[in-house]
A and B are shown apart, each in its own frame.
Chain A
Amino acid sequence: MSSPRLLPVLLKATLLLVIFNFLFILTNNVPFGKSSLYNKIFPGRERFPFGENQRGYNLSLFNLDAMFAAHVLVGAPKADDEYRVILIGDSSVWGTLLTPEQNLAGQLNLQNISACNKNVRAYNLGYPYISLLQELMILDEALNYQPDMIVWLTTLESFPKEKQFGAPLVANSPDRVKQLIAKYQLPLDPDDPAINHPTTWDQTFMQQRKNLANLIRLQLYGVPWSATGIDQFYPATYERAQTDFDADDSFYDIKQNEPLRDQLSLDILDAGLHATDIPIVLVNEPILVSNGVNSDIRYNFFYPRWAYDEYRVMLSEYTAQQNIPYLDLWDLVPMDEFTNSGVHLTPFGESLLAEKVGAAIQTTCGTK
């Protein structure tokens, strides 16, 4: 048998590579992320995949389909006696430095409470990075999974207009952002330069290889997740949240005498709170209230007192006006019960929060 000639082999290989790359563009709308080994071979994750430390058997990716497909919510058939509560929020809800049992959803489930004569089962759909638009995106998708109630925990840091496209998940989901803007008639520009709009070249296999590799890595991490139940790297030590501050009263570029409300994306919150007929409880999540240096100017690293106080008044007035169940738990947790950030709680801090939220779930059930 004669051997193939080198040049034609190389030419054919190059041609096939080029064709394959461009044919791959046609798969742009194929939701690869929805195919998952989670909830089939591996148990679903208790919270969204997030993290960059290999020792946490987890990774961050910009594919909401894949994030949901890996979540236990998608694989859990809803029992007749289940009262399904979905928690939306940032890293404090996701549970930085907390195990799935220690975070808010875990502690609510440990309470074994009932609401509307059904057993409450809380699902953690919190996701690190703080942006109301990201939370709305998750809430919008979560509505497909038969929730009975949404508990939306938020904080002022999620509100500034300039932050909305800053979350990587948002910035890398241009189609979903466009749909959200249209669906909820948000006053946002879908072509904002902060959003990564992929060019044709960006959609080729060569350019998409990292995203595909991440999908595969997520499936592979199903093994250690199933084997260990660990989905986060827990360092032995970490730097505690800052309690001493410079004499600085700034909050982004907003000046104290400027109207704060104009700079915040209350319309996104409003869209989310009116996105469904099921009850939504809005929670102003606990923050670290420092008594350290310059704590008369700032509550914590994130917030000068004036801005946060103004925000609380705004949220209180808004929820009262809209008749939205609202818990203002900003000072619920003592300063020592925060970990590495002004919004990350210790297990005990979470238990204080879970007690209040659990009670609210029971009282708010069936109110809308």
Chain B
Amino acid sequence: MGLTQIFASILTALLVGAWMRGTRRVFSLLALSILAVFWFQPAVPLRSFDFWIPSLSILLVVLVWFITSNAGAWKSRQNIIGLAVIAGVMTLVGLTRYIFPDPVLTTTTPPRLILVVGFIVLASVAITAFTTLSRRLALTLSFTIIVLLAILVILKSPLLSLQLSIFLRELTGRPTDTASALDLRWLGFSYISFRLIHVLRDKQTGRLPELSLPEFTTYVVFFPSLSAGPIDRAERFASDLRKEFHLTQDETLLAGQRIVIGLFKKFVIADALALIALNDTLATQVRTTGWMWIVLYAYTFQIYFDFSGYTDIAIGIARLVGIKLPENFNSPYTKPNITQFWNSWHITLTQWIRSYFFNPFNRWIRGYNIPAWTMLLLGQLATMFLIGLWHGITLNFILWGAWHGLGLFLQNRWSDFAKKRFNINNPRAQKALHIGGVLLTFHFAALGWVFFALSSPVLSFNVIMKLFGLT
């Protein structure tokens, strides 16, 4: 989200929070969120894909709602209006082609209206067919999860993205020699897919409460958290949405404070640090160990202020409309060990992975007769691999995951070992240990960022060698 989009979001959130009550508030948030899916979508070089990609996001959301809601739920008044709002907003975005000489809600001119209407009709037929089929097949939920994961894998894998881009370019008669893995930038899909998988899994385990289409859709594509999270839980989000909300002065001030802090973090601190933060180019140019540490520190703080700044902005804007999004950061660089670091860095992603991967994985692995430490190592490594892969399917993200997986395992082992052997009661020694732990954890996380920031393992190892004065 750029500054224009942030300020437009703040303004519309203020209007909704101040004037919209009850279902009008829900429908307003639905309409705004659908609009945001189109407006926030970055430009893609394939013709009209900046319209079709958001349309596919919406189709997936509505489809998942249909297969997770009770049979016939769509016939309720609220859901029919919800469907009308979604179709109406999409049509409106399509209509801007005829109203404005230049694109206003999309980066390029939307496709012809007949195509937009055709898409809506086809989507309705597809949803109806799939839902009818899904009522008879228990595997539909699992199948949908696999489809979502497959899309995520394609989008996160540079090689597969490139192949898909070439295929789409051939299909649309565009030159393939300029195809790039970045051609298919699907705004917020990492978050959208994880929210949808959460809902599908909860449906499978019978924990999903009934949500209306407007509630469900707004939850998945809620405009403040569309591009950078946090990943809320559907039932928590819906409970906020159902509460009577009236924007008070106190609430406005608190939200405003949070937004200002977020803007400062992102657009002043993070953007300034970005000028001097570690990247592929600097990695090969920095001449001395000392300066390499400085550019690494710059990256370490840049990524924190960037991400936590966006989170603050999202939380602040959401607060203006009565939604209390969960916290995503809790001073992670001040934690004395890596376990606590991961409990305070991208908290909602960690919780999601814990709920839907780590815990089931641990339950599954317990069925095998292997030593406890091996189970722990496998669990930590697999979990952190997954978090790494969520950021991108590259060797460097895998190495970053492995770094943290091993770190978590070693810290756990050390903690168990130390607890049994050392009993430090001296407050000064405890404080010194705490400070030492914070410094060690900070530097462990910082060294991990080397893999995250750079594009190749060779480059990363060269930087690490330089950091320790070995080259």
Query: Is B286 a contact of A220 with CB atoms below 8 Å?
Result: no
Query: Is A227 a contact of B253 with CB atoms below 8 Å?
Result: no
How far does the alpha carbon of A162 sit from the alpha carbon of B360 in the complex, in Å?
76
State whether the Cβ of B79 lies closer than 8 Å to any Cβ in chain A.
no
Q: 13 other contacts beyond A5-B249, A223-B295, A228-B287, with CB at 8 A cut-off?
A: A3-B250, A6-B252, A9-B253, A54-B275, A217-B272, A221-B276, A223-B294, A224-B276, A226-B291, A227-B287, A227-B291, A228-B285, A229-B287
User: What is A's interface to B at a CB cutoff of 8 Å?
Assistant: 3-7, 9, 54-55, 57, 216-217, 220-221, 223-224, 226-230
Query: Is B286 a contact of A227 with CB atoms below 8 Å?
Result: yes
Kindly identify which residue among A3, A224, A228, A229 contacts B253, using a CB–CB cutoff of 8 Å. Answer: A3
Interface flags, B237-254, vs A, CB<8A=1, else 0: 000000000000110110
Kindly identify which residue among A4, A54, A230 contacts B285, using a CB–CB cutoff of 8 Å. Answer: A230
Least CB distance, A346 to chain B, in whole angstroms: 22
Provide the residues of chain B in CB contact with A57, threshold 8 Å: 275
Which residue of chain A has the shortest Cβ distance to B288 in the bound complex?
A: A227
Which residue of chain B has the shortest Cβ distance to A229 in the bound complex?
A: B287
Which residue of chain A has the shortest Cβ distance to B276 in the bound complex?
A: A223
What DSSP secondary structure best describes chain B's contact surface? helix
Which residue of chain A has the shortest Cβ distance to B292 in the bound complex?
A: A227
Mind listing 14 A-B residue pairs with CB under 8 Å? A5-B249, A224-B275, A224-B282, A224-B285, A224-B295, A226-B291, A227-B282, A227-B286, A227-B287, A227-B295, A228-B282, A228-B286, A228-B287, A228-B291
Least CB distance, B277 to chain A, in whole angstroms: 9
Which residue of chain B has the shortest Cβ distance to A217 in the bound complex?
A: B275
Interface flags, B285-302, vs A, CB<8A=1, else 0: 111100110110010000
State whether the Cβ of B425 lies closer than 8 Å to any Cβ in chain A.
no
Query: Is A220 a contact of B272 with CB atoms below 8 Å?
Result: yes
User: What is B's interface to A at a CB cutoff of 8 Å?
Assistant: 249-250, 252-253, 272, 275-276, 281-282, 285-288, 291-292, 294-295, 298
Provide the residues of chain B in CB contact with A217, threshold 8 Å: 272, 275
Kindly identify which residue among A3, A6, A55 contacts B281, using a CB–CB cutoff of 8 Å. Answer: A55
Which residue of chain B has the shortest Cβ distance to A233 in the bound complex?
A: B281
Provide the residues of chain A in CB contact with B287, threshold 8 Å: 227-229
Least CB distance, B164 to chain A, in whole angstroms: 29
Provide the residues of chain B in CB contact with A224, threshold 8 Å: 275-276, 282, 285, 295
User: Which 7 A-B pairs have CB atoms at the shortest separation, nearest pair first?
Assistant: A227-B291, A6-B249, A228-B285, A223-B276, A227-B286, A3-B250, A220-B275
Query: Is B276 a contact of A216 with CB atoms below 8 Å?
Result: no
Which residue of chain B has the shortest Cβ distance to A222 in the bound complex?
A: B276
Query: Is B252 a contact of A223 with CB atoms below 8 Å?
Result: no
How far does the alpha carbon of A55 sit from the alpha carbon of B250 in the complex, in Å?
45
Query: Is B272 a contact of A216 with CB atoms below 8 Å?
Result: yes
Provide the residues of chain A in CB contact with B285, threshold 8 Å: 224, 227-228, 230
Provide the residues of chain A in CB contact with B252, threshold 8 Å: 6
Least CB distance, B284 to chain A, in whole angstroms: 9
Which residue of chain B has the shortest Cβ distance to A5 in the bound complex?
A: B249
How far does the alpha carbon of A48 sit from the alpha carbon of B294 in the complex, in Å?
24
Provide the residues of chain A in CB contact with B295, threshold 8 Å: 223-224, 227
Provide the residues of chain B in CB contact with A229, threshold 8 Å: 287
